[in-house]
């Protein structure tokens, strides 16, 4: 990258040095004071080589990323003839936030934006999934270990009902959130999701003259569970699309009555005949793929999944896994509520912790030592963003060695056949959600991820020259 050329292009697109009142830099952004925003060509500015994004705030903030921004500032200040200022971001949390924003801008593509919306559908449901998953997991252990000694006690069955209820009606909630996220009426999305709830009282499942209702084409009885959460998700999105398009054509005086009516009738027929089979097919494919990686590939599959997870996170593709985790934690699903994917993926955070430890031990850079010291405690507890976005990812090579080192934890997690009964936490907090009785194996696997990340980074991931380039020589 030609920093002098980039600085010149930026200055030109900002309206020249007469339009610049100040220039400064933080860890990722060139912050420029602008006299007249009308002279700034924002769209062209976004396409200058090295520019990851532009943010309008009290100053115009041009995102270049760690390391590069200081070199751009050096050349830019020569053109502006203004004093250079470096805005300190000493907190690992602040730096991680800034780097995460830069990464988000860099990979803000249609696929990532769509997957983010899918994640938005499930995130509000996590408190219920966490609570219900833990209830179901613990009650199963209690029933087996006590030979059902508590069965029939009103308070125990009340608690079990809470665990059962969430997953029994989860498709309704998924459909509701899906319609809302994509601009439709939440209640119509709930109706769409209700098509995936198995209830003997459903008219489609009723008997008429001792004969079941058969669907066209297949001549089979409708199975609401076959499409599962994916059918509810797709149906909720479709209902939102259908509602918005019907409303465009519906006269305003009839809109209140006929838009929801036509949406439900037409959407219901499409959901039954098309979307349910599509959801069922996708569910089968996903379970088959996971089964192949987990059972057929064994420890190799565990290694690949744990190594590849954080690269997915950096580009936003990890959000595609959100509905899959919910499916795996469903007691009525193929895995009977045991999520065997999540423990393997949690090892990725362990690799980052190990890498941070190696950097702290080996580097002489005081700022990096401070950042790793700030990031390690929360990383151990499962909050990996400070370590990843403030330390390993900006440096590059430690991020790679951290991911590779995490593979040791993934191998152990696959070898021990670890599973979780819920989701929502990671790190050492993962001990709360793994299948009861396997906490020791989980701890061994996480320690393996720490060790793998430490050794790979200590011997192959520390480059003091690169560290000083990114964080300054302190």
Question: Distance (Å, rounded) from C-alpha 425 to C-alpha 292?
Answer: 26
Question: Which pair of tokens denotes residue 194?
Answer: 């209700």
Question: Distance (Å, rounded) from C-alpha 421 to C-alpha 430?
Answer: 10
Among the listed residues 20, 26, 72, 95, the single catalytic one is 26
Told to judge if 26 belongs to the known catalytic residues of this protein, a careful annotator would answer yes
Class of residue 199 by CB neighbours under 10 A (exposed 0-12, middle 13-18, buried 19+): exposed
CB 268 within 8 A of CB 203: no
Question: Which pair of tokens denotes residue 414?
Answer: 């696959």
Question: Distance (Å, rounded) from C-alpha 458 to C-alpha 469?
Answer: 19
Question: Distance (Å, rounded) from C-alpha 406 to C-alpha 455?
Answer: 11
Which of 350, 337, 326, 316 is CA-nearest to residue 443? 350
- The dihedral through the CA atoms of 48, 52, 57, 58 has a sign that is negative
Question: Which pair of tokens denotes residue 112?
Answer: 């990532």
Question: Distance (Å, rounded) from C-alpha 164 to C-alpha 173?
Answer: 14
CB 276 within 8 A of CB 226: yes
CB 421 within 8 A of CB 136: yes
Question: Distance (Å, rounded) from C-alpha 348 to C-alpha 411?
Answer: 12
CB 233 within 8 A of CB 174: yes
User: Tokens 């087996």 — which residue?
Assistant: 144
Q: Which residues contact 387 (CB under 8 A, 6 or more apart)?
A: 92, 96, 352, 353, 355, 356, 372, 375, 376, 379
Alpha-carbon distances of 137 from 70, 424, 427, 446, rounded to whole Å: 52, 15, 19, 21
Strands 84-86 and 20-25: parallel
| Catalytic residue ranges | 26
């Amino acid at each position: 990258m030609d920093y002098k050329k980039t600085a010149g292009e930026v200055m030109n697109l900002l309206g020249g040095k007469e339009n610049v009142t100040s220039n400064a830099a933080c860890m990722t952004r060139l912050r420029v004071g602008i006299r007249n925003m009308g002279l700034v060509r924002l769209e062209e500015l976004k396409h200058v080589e090295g520019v990851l994004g532009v943010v309008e705030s009290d100053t115009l903030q041009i995102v270049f990323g760690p390391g590069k921004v200081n070199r751009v500032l050096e050349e830019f200040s020569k053109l502006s003839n203004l004093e250079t200022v470096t805005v300190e971001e000493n907190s690992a949390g602040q730096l991680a936030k800034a780097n995460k924003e830069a990464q988000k801008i860099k990979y803000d593509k249609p696929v990532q934006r769509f997957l983010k919306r899918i994640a938005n559908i499930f995130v509000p449901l996590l408190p219920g999934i966490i609570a219900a998953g833990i209830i179901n997991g613990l009650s199963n252990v209690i029933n087996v270990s006590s030979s059902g000694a508590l069965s029939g006690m009103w308070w125990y069955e009340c608690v079990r009902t809470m665990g059962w209820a969430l997953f029994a009606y989860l498709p309704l909630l998924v459909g509701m959130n899906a319609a809302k996220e994509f601009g439709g009426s939440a209640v119509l999305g709930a109706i769409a999701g209700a098509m995936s709830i198995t209830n003997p009282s459903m008219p489609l499942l009723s008997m008429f003259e001792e004969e079941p209702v058969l669907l066209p084409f297949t001549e089979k009885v409708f199975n609401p569970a076959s499409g599962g959460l994916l059918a509810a998700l797709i149906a909720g999105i479709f209902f939102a699309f259908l509602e918005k398009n019907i409303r465009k054509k519906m006269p305003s005086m009839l809109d209140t009555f006929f838009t929801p009516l036509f949406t439900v009738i037409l959407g219901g027929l499409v959901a039954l005949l098309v979307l349910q089979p599509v959801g069922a097919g996708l569910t089968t494919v996903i379970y088959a793929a996971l089964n192949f990686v987990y059972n057929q590939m064994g420890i190799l599959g565990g290694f690949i999944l744990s190594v590849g997870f954080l690269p997915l996170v950096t580009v936003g593709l990890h959000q595609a896994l959100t509905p899959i985790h919910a499916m795996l934690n469903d007691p009525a699903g193929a895995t009977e509520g045991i999520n065997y994917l999540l423990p393997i993926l949690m090892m990725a955070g362990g690799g980052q912790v190990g890498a941070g430890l190696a950097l702290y031990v080996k580097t002489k850079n005081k700022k990096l030592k401070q950042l790793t010291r700030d990031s390690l405690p929360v990383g151990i507890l499962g909050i990996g963003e400070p370590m990843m976005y403030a330390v390993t990812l900006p440096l590059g090579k430690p991020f790679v060695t951290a991911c590779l080192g995490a593979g040791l934890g993934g191998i152990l997690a696959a070898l021990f056949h670890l599973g979780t009964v819920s989701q929502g936490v990671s790190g050492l907090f993962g001990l709360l959600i793994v299948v009861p009785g396997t906490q020791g194996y989980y701890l061994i696997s996480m320690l393996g991820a720490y060790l793998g990340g430490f050794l790979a980074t200590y011997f192959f991931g520390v480059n003091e020259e690169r560290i000083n380039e990114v964080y300054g020589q302190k």
